[in-house]
């Protein structure tokens, strides 16, 4: 999306697919919601969560007119008292050493963005302190009897699956419910087309650091070797790829080469992943098979997209969702036959659920207004009620009638 290009370049976010995926997610999680909902960013270590937090702040500043600072607090290894004092501020005498009133980071983030990193490390008590903040945007400085309000865009960041932690009783489910906007980052190996772009960018960066600006960078063969090795090792971390490339460049001896050939990276690939260019034939065969399948799929996708005026990327993402839905029908305690009828029923329900989550609605009225303020833009009341009924279960006739009248 054009709206994100300036931010991507300014922050230094590299990778065509990564840019595409995150722009759509930030659009839905931040811009479509006008920055009103707390956002949670998840992804394994090294996938770029800090960069996306910066992207969220930058885009919100430009598109939503927010003028405040980007403020970050790492929640790892903080005591509950230090966490509350750092975030909310404190009054003089609130605890030992509190010799004067002190504003917290929420005050500093006024009109801007507050990022709580490693939020999974907070104790249950500290998590409870966030409920009012995320729900009502209110907080109480330590030792104070009065509430304050904040307009900061709140972002929770974690390298763990918070939904899974909540299911295990290790994270508060009600806290997740107050951060409904979600951005999920794919591991690096699942977006393999970004690997050569990143490896080349890191190569040129390292060459510039050595003062070798005339070196052309990594060759296509070298980039292909790096890509194959990382995919086979299921490497999730962009940070580790950067470390690998820099180790290779700074390990070069003598005069600067014309370009970075495959042998430059062979040693570090073997050191990092236990495999080097001796695996190239196997990598190439796997790559050919995968690219052939992708080429056939691309022709089909391009034709359908042209016929119906749809973005190709949208069709591919929908196909991946349907593939997961189809695979889920025949597994688990509630398994059903993976027939066409069952798949279409599940697809319809998933579409309704996704629309509801996209809207961030708490009731049918908010759901209708998400699509516009004019009656011709909104879904009919009967449609909104039916979607609500399908997603949240049947209600008795009296509550259904009152719900219809209320909306």
Whether 148 and 236 share a structural domain: no
Placement of tokens 């690998």 in the chain: 244
Q: Which residue in 111, 1, 122 sits closest to 60, CA to CA? A: 111
Whether 124 and 56 share a structural domain: yes
> CB of 43 within 8 A of CB of 84?
no
Helices (H) then strands (E): counts for the chain: 18, 9
Mind spelling out the 3-state secondary structure of the chain? Answer: CHHHHHHHHHHCCCCHHHHHHHHHHHHHHHHCCCCCCCEEEECCCCCCHHHHHHHHHHHHHHHHCCCCCEEEEECCCCCHHHHHHHHHEECCCCCCCCCCCEECHHHHCCCCEEEEECHHHCCHHHHHHHHHHHHHCEECCECCCCCEECCCEEEEEECCCHHHHHHCCCCCHHHHHCCCEEEECCCHHHHCCHHHHHHHHHHHHHHHHCCCCCCCCECHHHHHHHHHHHHHCCCCCHHHHHHHHHHHHHCCCCCCCCCECHHHHHHHHHHHHCCCHHHHHHHHHHHHHHHHHHHHHHHHHHHHHHHHCCCHHHHHHHHHHHHHHHHHHCCCCCCCCCCHHHHHHHHHHHHHHHHHHHHCCCCHHHHHHHCCCCCCCCCCHHHHHHHHHHHHCCCCHHHHHHHHHHC
Whether 171 and 199 share a structural domain: no
CATH number of the domain within which 37 lies? 3.40.50.300
CA 330 to CA 335: how far, in whole Å? 5
389 part of a folded domain = yes
Q: Which residues pair with 155 in a beta bridge?
A: 39, 115
Whether 111 and 172 share a structural domain: yes
CA 156 to CA 287: how far, in whole Å? 37
Q: What's the domain count of the chain?
A: 3
340 part of a folded domain = no
Whether 38 and 116 share a structural domain: yes
Whether 128 and 152 share a structural domain: yes
Whether 247 and 375 share a structural domain: no
pLDDT of 94 reads: 72
The domain boundary, picked from 276, 303, 321, lies at 276
pLDDT of 294 reads: 55
Query: Which phi and psi (to 5°) does residue 39 adopt?
Result: -115, 140
The domain boundary, picked from 157, 186, 215, lies at 186
CATH number of the domain within which 251 lies? 1.10.8.60
331 part of a folded domain = no
pLDDT of 25 reads: 93
The domain boundary, picked from 169, 186, 203, lies at 186
Q: Which residue in 231, 186, 236 sits closest to 45, CA to CA? A: 236
pLDDT of 312 reads: 81
211 part of a folded domain = yes
> CB of 221 within 8 A of CB of 261?
yes
Q: Which two tokens mark 237?
A: 């971390």
CA 195 to CA 123: how far, in whole Å? 37
33 part of a folded domain = yes
53 part of a folded domain = yes
Whether 139 and 219 share a structural domain: no
CA 388 to CA 367: how far, in whole Å? 9
pLDDT of 259 reads: 95
Whether 147 and 271 share a structural domain: no
For 388, the domain range is: 361-407
Chunked into runs of 10 residues, the chain (407 residues) has average pLDDT values of 85 94 93 94 95 97 95 93 92 78 93 97 94 94 90 96 92 94 94 95 97 94 92 94 97 95 93 76 57 61 84 78 70 68 86 89 91 88 91 57 43
118 part of a folded domain = yes
159 part of a folded domain = yes
Whether 168 and 25 share a structural domain: yes
Whether 153 and 256 share a structural domain: no
Whether 28 and 172 share a structural domain: yes
SS3 158: strand
């Amino acid at each position: 999306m054009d709206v994100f290009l300036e931010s991507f370049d300014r922050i230094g976010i590299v990778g065509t697919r990564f840019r595409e995926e995150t722009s759509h997610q930030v659009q839905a999680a931040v811009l479509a919601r006008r920055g009103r909902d707390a956002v949670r960013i998840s992804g394994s270590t090294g996938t770029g969560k800090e960069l996306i937090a910066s992207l969220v702040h930058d885009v919100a500043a430009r598109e939503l007119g927010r003028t405040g600072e980007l403020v970050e607090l790492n929640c790892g290894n903080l005591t509950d008292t230090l966490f509350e004092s750092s975030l909310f501020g404190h009054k003089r005498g609130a605890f030992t050493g509190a010799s004067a009133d002190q504003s917290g980071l929420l005050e500093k983030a006024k009109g801007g963005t507050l990022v709580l990193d490693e939020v999974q490390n907070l104790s249950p008590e500290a998590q409870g302190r966030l409920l009012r903040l995320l729900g009502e945007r209110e907080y109480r400085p330590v030792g104070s009897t009065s509430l304050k309000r904040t307009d900061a865009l709140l972002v929770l960041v974690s390298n763990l699956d918070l939904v899974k932690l909540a299911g295990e009783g290790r994270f508060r489910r009600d806290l997740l419910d107050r951060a409904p906007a979600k951005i999920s980052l794919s591991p690096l190996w699942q977006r393999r087309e970004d690997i050569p772009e990143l490896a080349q960018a890191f190569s040129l960066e390292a060459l510039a650091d050595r003062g070798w600006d005339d070196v052309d960078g990594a060759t296509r063969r070298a980039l292909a070797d790096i890509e194959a090795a990382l995919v086979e090792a299921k490497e999730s971390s962009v940070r580790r790829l950067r470390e690998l490339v820099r180790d290779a460049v700074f390990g070069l001896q003598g005069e600067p080469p014309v370009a970075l050939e495959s042998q430059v990276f062979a040693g570090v690939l073997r050191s990092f992943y236990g495999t080097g260019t001796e695996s190239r034939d196997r990598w190439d065969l796997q790559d050919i098979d995968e690219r052939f399948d992708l080429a056939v799929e691309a022709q089909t996708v391009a034709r359908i997209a042209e016929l119906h005026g749809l973005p190709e990327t949208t069709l591919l993402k929908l196909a991946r969702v349907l593939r997961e839905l189809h695979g889920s029908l025949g597994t688990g305690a509630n398994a059903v036959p993976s027939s066409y009828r069952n798949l279409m029923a599940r697809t319809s329900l998933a579409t309704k659920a996704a629309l509801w989550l996209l809207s961030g609605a708490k009731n049918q009225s908010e759901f209708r207004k998400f699509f516009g303020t004019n009656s011709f833009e909104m879904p009919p009341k009967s449609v909104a009620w039916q979607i609500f009924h399908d997603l949240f279960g049947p209600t008795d006739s009296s509550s259904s009638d009152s719900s219809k009248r209320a909306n």
